[in-house]
């Protein structure tokens, strides 16, 4: 792994670990809980990626620096707990967005190095970006961000696709990384700011149409049940 990719990976671990610490603080967890949430967020996605790709041992076993980085992040957070606790509610999704962008690039890059197809590389990028956050949210008894209406996994897939496409075109590594980071981060931050969301499908009951009482009905109309696409209204700022 090149030096640029390695330090991006470390940066992603720090950002995601910090998001785990923030959620642990808001969930009133003890220091062990903070460490657990920081660890699963920082290395959970990469661990699952390596297991799926058949990489043995997984990356943090061969390079324990990742574990020390997580431990250091939690330690610094405990010292500055007062300031972390005062961070706004919007900081967590923004920090998560940066981690998502960084890990998407890392996952796609590692999959391509192992000789996978472009499609698999995009999926591995998305898995690396979203799996750790999913585990974190489940442990904190929250609905994972990837399962909510706001654009999340879609941003990771878009960024991973850009990286794979530029890699196929033999673009310089720095350009491919910058473009992928920009697309993933741009889409995710736009979704946070403007509350952009994909439509959802729900099983709804459609009431019968009103009719003129003067006109008799041969067959009374009944309520119908059907699947309907629902678009969430954007919140005004």
Beta bridge partners of 229: 201
Predicted model pTM: 0.87
Q: Is the pLDDT of residue 236 over 70?
A: no
Which percentage of the chain shows pLDDT scores above 70?
A: 84
CA 4 – CA 7 distance, rounded (Å): 5
Contact status, residue 118 vs residue 71, Cβ threshold 8 Å:
no
Which residues make Cβ contacts (< 8 Å) with residue 207, sequence separation at least 6?
A: 223
Query: What integer pLDDT is reported at residue 84 of this predicted model?
Result: 77
18-27, 86-95, 164-173: range with lowest mean pLDDT: 86-95
* Residue 86: alpha-carbon gap to chain centroid: 24
Beta bridge partners of 228: 202
Q: Please name which of 97, 157, 105 lies closest in space to residue 1, comparing C-alpha atoms.
A: 105
Query: What integer pLDDT is reported at residue 212 of this predicted model?
Result: 58
Q: Is 115 exposed, middle or buried (0-12, 13-18, 19+ CB in 10 A)?
A: exposed
In the block, residue with structure tokens 């007062």: 82
Residue 150 in tokens: 């706001």
Q: Is the pLDDT of residue 159 over 80?
A: yes
pLDDT one-digit tens code per residue, 54-70: 999 999 999 999 999 99
Average pLDDT of the chain is 88
Query: What integer pLDDT is reported at residue 147 of this predicted model?
Result: 81
Read off the pLDDT band of 127 (50, 70, 90): very high
DSSP label at 230?
A: E
Beta bridge partners of 205: 225
Q: Which has more confidence, 228 or 142?
A: 142
pLDDT one-digit tens code per residue, 95-122: 999 999 999 999 999 999 999 999 999 9
Query: What integer pLDDT is reported at residue 145 of this predicted model?
Result: 81
Q: Which has more confidence, 196 or 46?
A: 46
Q: Which has more confidence, 107 or 236?
A: 107
Tell me the average pLDDT across 88-92.
82
Read off the pLDDT band of 235 (50, 70, 90): low
Q: Is the pLDDT of residue 178 over 70?
A: yes
The radius of gyration of the chain's CA atoms, rounded to the nearest angstrom, is 22
Contact status, residue 133 vs residue 153, Cβ threshold 8 Å:
no
For the CA atoms of 91, 94, 99, 101, what is the dihedral angle to 10 degrees? -170
Q: Cβ of 188: how many Cβ atoms within 10 Å?
A: 29
Read off the pLDDT band of 45 (50, 70, 90): very high
CA 153 – CA 202 distance, rounded (Å): 20
């Amino acid at each position: 792994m090149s030096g640029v990719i390695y330090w991006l990976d470390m940066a992603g671990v720090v950002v995601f670990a910090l998001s785990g610490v923030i959620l642990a603080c808001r969930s009133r967890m003890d220091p062990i809980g903070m460490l657990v949430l920081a660890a699963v967020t920082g290395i959970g996605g990469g661990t699952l990626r390596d297991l799926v790709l058949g990489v043995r041992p997984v990356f943090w076993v061969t390079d324990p620096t990742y574990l020390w980085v997580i431990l250091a992040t939690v330690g610094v957070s405990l010292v500055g707990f007062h300031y972390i606790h005062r961070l706004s509610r919007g900081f967590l999704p923004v920090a998560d967005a940066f981690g998502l962008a960084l890990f998407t690039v890392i996952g796609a890059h590692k999959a391509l190095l192992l000789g996978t197809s472009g499609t698999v590389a995009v999926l591995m990028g998305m898995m690396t970006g979203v799996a750790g956050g999913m585990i974190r949210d489940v442990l904190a008894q929250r609905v994972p961000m990837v399962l909510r209406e706001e654009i999340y996994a879609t941003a990771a897939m878009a960024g991973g696709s850009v990286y794979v496409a530029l890699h196929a075109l033999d673009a310089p590594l720095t350009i491919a990384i910058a473009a992928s980071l920009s697309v993933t981060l741009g889409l995710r931050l736009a979704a946070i700011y403007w509350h952009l969301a994909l439509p959802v499908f729900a099983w709804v009951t459609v009431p019968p149409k009103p009719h003129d009482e003067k006109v008799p009905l041969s067959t009374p109309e009944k309520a119908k049940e059907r699947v309907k696409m629902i678009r969430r209204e954007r919140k005004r700022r």
